[in-house]
Amino acid sequence: FQKKILAGKRVLITAGPTFEAIDPVRGITNRSSGKMGFAIARAAIEAGAQVHLIAGPCDLVTPLAATGNIIRTDVVSAKEMHAATLKEHDYDIFFAVAAVADWAITKPAKEKIKRQGNQAPALEFTANPDILLDVAKTVKTKAGKPYPYCVGFAAESTDLQAHAQEKRKRKGIPMIVGNIAPNTFDSDLNQLLVIDENGNKKMPQAEKLQLARQLIQLVAKKI
């Protein structure tokens, strides 16, 4: 009998996009199917963890729900995702996989904005809170290791390695995972570049679930 590598561990995951309302029928969002985050949730449960999955709007089925080892909270906006995430305490690993919209509409209209000829409305934006940055600020040390262990994600169109490394340092997190394939949206496949304090590791193209399992193996060794 082999003990599962995340037995007794608690894992918090944000996944999917967030949606910021302009009015009751319109809004802005970031592109994300949620598939990578949901794959990580599944892989973590397989490894024996208790998972809390905080999901933006996406129509994916909760993985391994029948095990009773996953709680799912559905949210819409970045503010809601931030509140749900920061409410959690005492977990071992945080995976920030969500593609969080960077800006919210400052004052969403209560009623549908009517079109006025060819004129477009001027929208005012407000920066959304950075969920990962705020979680990273709460990190403590437990038995000489960061707690929770924070893993960020980076989707970039150019210079993945430099941008991802910069993000890792700016957010003060030990690990960041870059999507090598620029268009992983909606795909079941991905290719990852994992950057931690020891350098870079490429994970060649594979199913997102396969990559998620490899990532869980890597992170389990860090905690």
Residues recognised as catalytic: 30
Stretch 164-203: interaction string toward ligand C5P, x if CB under 6 A: ---x------------------------------------
Of 113 and 156, which CB lies nearer to ligand C5P in the complex structure?
A: 156
Return d(Cα 184, Cα 156) in angstroms, integer: 11
**Letter for the amino acid at 173?**
I
21: tokens are 């309302």
Do the beta carbons of residue 11 and residue 92 sit within 8 Å?
yes
Nearest C-alpha neighbor of 43 from the set 220, 221, 223, 175? 220
36 binds ligand C5P (CB under 6 A): no
**At its nearest, how many Å lie between ligand C5P and the CB of residue 177?**
8
**Letter for the amino acid at 72?**
R
Of 54 and 70, which CB lies nearer to ligand C5P in the complex structure?
A: 54
SS percent in the chain: helix, strand, coil, step 5: 25, 35, 40
35 binds ligand C5P (CB under 6 A): no
Q: Which residues contact ligand C5P (rule: CB under 6 A)?
A: 14, 78, 96-98, 100, 128, 130-132, 152-154, 167
Binding region for CTP: 102, 112, 129-132, 153, 167, 171
